[in-house]
Amino acid sequence: MKSFNPLVTVLMPVYNGEKYLAEAIESVLNQTFADFELLIIDDCSSDNSVEIIQSYNDNRLKLIINEENIGQSSTMNKAIELAEGKYIARLDQDDLSYKNRLQVQLEKISDLNKTILGSWAYAINQKSDIIGCIQHPVKNESILDALSIGSPLSHSSIFADKKELLLLGGYTENFKIAMDWDLWIKAAIKNYYFYNIPEYLIGLRQHTNQASKDKKGKRILNRETLELLNKSKRLIKSKKNLKAYNGWKYYHETRFIFYNNKLFKSLYKFIYSLLNYQSLYEFLKIFVFHKVIKNPKILYNVPIHFTKLPISNK
């Protein structure tokens, strides 16, 4: 029977997730560690998501349906407040937790305080075939260094003490896509400790329906990225990442020009931006190491290192 005080709460916000939802739910229910609740909050889905969730007869699964659509950040803050577990684990509606994920993370965090824990991940396609490996920096110092450039933790891999997340004030609700990166920056400023377990504990789904893939999503992500770059610069630990930061900021500022101006004005501002020789040079180095050499880790501490693999099954 379900414990009234589960040790772990797995949070899964859902919005129109019917395509991959059953597989995500089953990946949690089949964990080797059993003392958890799976708390799903549906944010007014218009597809069959609720029916899929209600089809499971497992008393560890708890469903809450929002009365109105409030967005992912607000939904997750609500979920954190309602969670009964001492620890919080996150999983998106289209991702997978491999069987030992909770057990491994629970064992690791038991000796740590004020810690946000993540892991490496497999990239999976629409059929759940493994198509690549996603590696993040492992230790705290490298994670902080990389945090100035992007999110060095996979959101679906997060494992943390509920009290510590509440002390951070939860997710900033005006962020639509990069809310996790913003939360890690807030945690870093408050001297939280980070660690990525160098094991592939989750599968991150790669598909075209993700919020950041369409034109509107790319525009929103670009705006949020520039805001977070300004907040995170103070966290840089190395000269090489300061140079990479300048190159990436130049890249995102250039994209912002074209996203938010008419063609003639965009071209004018872009030509003017070419005068920023040093940042342009740093961006060109990044481009070469990412696209030509295909090993950016030589150049700087990267938040995400992706290695493409032949299709296999996990």
CA distance 90 to 106: 13
Q: Note the pLDDT of residue 314.
A: 46
CA distance 82 to 80: 5
Looking at the domain assignment, is residue 185 inside a domain?
yes
Do both 201 and 243 map to the same domain? no
Do both 104 and 201 map to the same domain? yes
Do both 163 and 246 map to the same domain? no
Token pair for 215: 């034109």
Looking at the domain assignment, is residue 1 inside a domain?
no
Do both 228 and 260 map to the same domain? yes
SS3 158: coil
Q: Quickly state the pLDDT bin for 272 (edges 50, 70, 90).
A: low
pLDDT digits (tens, 9 = 90+) for 1-59: 344 689 999 999 999 999 999 999 999 999 999 999 999 999 999 999 999 999 999 99
- For the entire predicted model, the pTM comes to 0.91
Domain boundary among 205, 227, 248: 205
Q: Note the pLDDT of residue 2.
A: 43
Domain boundary among 205, 238, 259: 205
Do both 117 and 229 map to the same domain? no
Looking at the domain assignment, is residue 224 inside a domain?
yes
Looking at the domain assignment, is residue 297 inside a domain?
yes
What b/e string do you get for 238-263 counting C-beta neighbours within 10 Å, with b at 16 or more?
A: beebebbbbbbbbbbbbbbbbeeeee
Q: Quickly state the pLDDT bin for 260 (edges 50, 70, 90).
A: confident
Question: Nearest CA to 20 among 127, 138, 143?
Answer: 127
Do both 82 and 183 map to the same domain? yes
Question: Nearest CA to 226 among 206, 207, 203, 251?
Answer: 251
Looking at the domain assignment, is residue 87 inside a domain?
yes
Helix H segments across 177-313?
179-189, 215-232, 239-260, 263-273, 277-287
Q: How far apart are the first and last CA of the chain?
A: 30
CA distance 277 to 285: 12
How many alpha carbons lie under 13 Å from residue 313 in its C-beta half-sphere?
1
Domain of residue 49: give its range: 8-205
- CATH code of the domain in which 185 resides: 3.90.550.10
pLDDT digits (tens, 9 = 90+) for 61-117: 999 999 999 999 999 999 999 999 999 999 999 999 999 999 999 999 988 889 999
| DSSP conformation letters of 99-117 | TTHHHHHHHHHTT-SSEEE
Do both 171 and 26 map to the same domain? yes
Do both 229 and 187 map to the same domain? no
Token pair for 256: 């912002």
Q: Note the pLDDT of residue 268.
A: 60
Do both 32 and 119 map to the same domain? yes
Number of domains in the chain: 2
Q: Note the pLDDT of residue 112.
A: 87
Token pair for 123: 């990239």
Do both 112 and 14 map to the same domain? yes
Helix then strand count (H, E) for the chain reads 11, 10
Domain boundary among 152, 180, 205: 205
Whether the per-residue pLDDT at 310 is higher than 80: the answer is no
Do both 16 and 82 map to the same domain? yes
pLDDT digits (tens, 9 = 90+) for 204-219: 999 766 655 678 889 9
